[in-house]
Amino acid sequence: MHEMSIAVAMVEQVTETPAADGCQAVSAVRLRLGELAGVVAGSLRFCFSLACAGTVLEGAELLIEHVPGRARCEPCGAEWATGMPPQLCCPQCEGGKAELVSGRELQITGLRHADGADGGGAAHHASVQVKES
Amino acid sequence: MCRVVDLQQAVLVKNDERAGSLRAELTARGTTVVNLLSSPGSGKTALLEAELALAASRGVPVAALTADLATEHDAERLARAGVPVKQVLTDGLCHLEAGMLGEQLEGWLPAGTRLLFVENVGNLVCPASYDLGESLRVVLASVTEGEDKPLKYPTAFGLAQLVIVTKDDIAEAAGFDEEAFRANVHQVNPGVDVVLTSARRGTGTGLLLERALAVAGGEEAHRPVMARTGSGSGGGSSYGHTHTHTHAHPHAHADAGAHAHPHTTITTASAAGVPARSHS
């Protein structure tokens, strides 16, 4: 249940970001979440709603973009989807010198500010390519 | 009015920064941190008891910090080795964070400590995501836990720089398939060393101390594939092991006196939602 610590860290970061200046309420937070990040989306959502209570993020939506794990083997050039549990040994040359191309993301990529209810938020919502879990 | 702001902020950046500065600060003081992770009951404490006693007998200045949700049993056991030991009670929190470790070390870590062993909360999920400023991350699994443990907890095993199998004395009775275990470790973390130990029989005792001293002496620890995140991955929490360990600290060990008086300290960690409480 480190999702609560992660949710608290997210709220701290958002409230401290200079981008929050002049806009009180944050109505949505966009998060890139890697398949290998070790974070459960459902649990994070639950914790996020609790962590937001009493802050400028109260009631904010958490938009999670899932990022699949991918690895690349530098020596042989192979690139593959790691899957879960991940295959981090090169399936082509069986070498152990690969590096992760993606999959460990745990990154806030955007905020939506809105004072009061408005329709603009929904318009933006659609422009963000978010795959809900 | 509605405004959209694009950001690129790793959520665990604060922990990673604290871990990075703690690593730099401790390195400057000549201390190398070893972070031990495993499920509850895997034998972290038994292994550590043997390693601390060995270090003490060889005059290597070591210290240990052990984290649990409750009780000071582990610190009592470890303190028998005659080295400085501190118990941290997390009051329910499932992992340690770098800031918490830094606070615990303040005013406690004896000067001249060569190795600080941190026995993390028994948990293979949460502690895996938190860099504590260690230079060696060790993951333990006992022979009774099943060969597929590395696949079930890929983040923990995938980020290990050394894997220690414990309770090898009962491997046969437990039907432990060493080959299968090694293959599973290899899948999530190719190249990491897997060593077999039995604290009860004393087999493999000293391997951890030896490895930790090598890293403290400047030898580069294993770099797991999972920690090798390319520029595009934006992980930000590859536990900061992108630096090279080129520090070789001359040590006179003239401070042996500081280690001659074992003491146990108990503190409750303070973190978000965890009230600070003194047990001393």
Integer Rg of chain A from CA? 18
Tell me the CATH number at A5.
Answer: 3.30.2320.50
| Interchain pair B3, A87: CB under 8 A | no
Say if residue A111 is in the same domain as residue A87: no
Between CA A47 and CA A52 the distance in angstroms is 9
The DSSP bridge partners found for residue A79 are: A72
Contact B187 A34 (CB under 8 A): no
- Indicate the number of domains in chain A: 2
Task: Find the CB nearest A89 among B15, B155, B187.
Answer: B187
**pLDDT per residue as tens digits for the range B31-89:** 999 999 999 999 999 999 999 999 999 999 999 999 998 889 999 999 999 999 999 99
Looking at the structure, do residues A10 and A50 belong to the same domain, yes or no? Answer: yes
Q: Which amino acid appears at position A1 of this protein?
A: M
- Domain annotation for chain B: domains and CATH numbers: 13-138+205-220+258-268 (3.40.50.300)
Q: Are residues A107 and A95 in the same domain?
A: no
CA separation for the pair B267, B14 (Å, rounded): 23
Q: Do A9 and A41 sit in the same domain of this protein?
A: yes
Which range has the worst mean pLDDT, A103-107, B199-203, B234-238, B260-264? B234-238
Whether A73 has a binding-site annotation, put simply, is yes
Same domain, A81 and A44: no
CA B161, CA A20: separation in Å to the nearest integer? 40
Per the CB < 8 Å rule, is A38 touching B155? yes
In what side-by-side order are the strands of the sheet with A70-73? A79-81, A70-73, A98-102
Q: Which residue of A has its CA nearest to B123?
A: A1
Chain A neighbors of B151, CB-CB under 8 A: 85
What's the whole-number average pLDDT of chain B? Answer: 86
Whether residue B229 contacts residue B79, with contact meaning beta carbons closer than 8 Å, is answered with no
Residues A16, A57 within the same domain? yes
* A23 marked ligand binding residue: no
CA distance B2 to chain A (A): 4
User: A87 is in which domain, residue-wise?
Assistant: 69-101
Q: Scanning every residue of chain B, which has its alpha carbon at the shortest distance from the alpha carbon of A8?
A: B272
Residues A8 and A73 in one domain: no
Name the residue with higher pLDDT: A133 or B177.
B177
Choose the mutation target among B149, B153, B226, B239 for the interface with A, i.e. most A CBs under 10 Å: B226
What pLDDT was estimated at residue B269? Answer: 54
Distances (CA, A) of A29 to A10, A55, A109, B164, B262: 9, 13, 8, 40, 49
pTM as predicted: 0.84
pLDDT over 70 (residue B157): yes
Q: How many CB atoms lie within 10 A of CB B2?
A: 18
pLDDT for B232 equals 41
Same domain, A55 and A118: yes
**What residues contact A85, with CB distance under 8 A and at least 6 apart?**
B150, B151, B152, B154, B187, B188
User: Do A63 and A89 have their domain in common?
Assistant: no
Q: Check whether residue A23 and residue A58 sit in a common domain.
A: yes
CA distance B165 to B171: 10
Partner-chain contact B7 A110, CB within 8 Å: yes
Residue B183, classed as helix, strand or coil, is helix
Q: Which residue has the higher pLDDT, B90 or B137?
A: B137
One domain for residues A23 and A79? no
B-chain residues near A89 (CB < 8 A): 186-187, 190, 225
Do A39 and B9 count as a contact with CB atoms less than 8 A apart? no
pLDDT at residue A130 in the model: 40
**Average pLDDT of B168-181?**
98
- List the single residue in B with minimal CA-CA distance to A73: B225
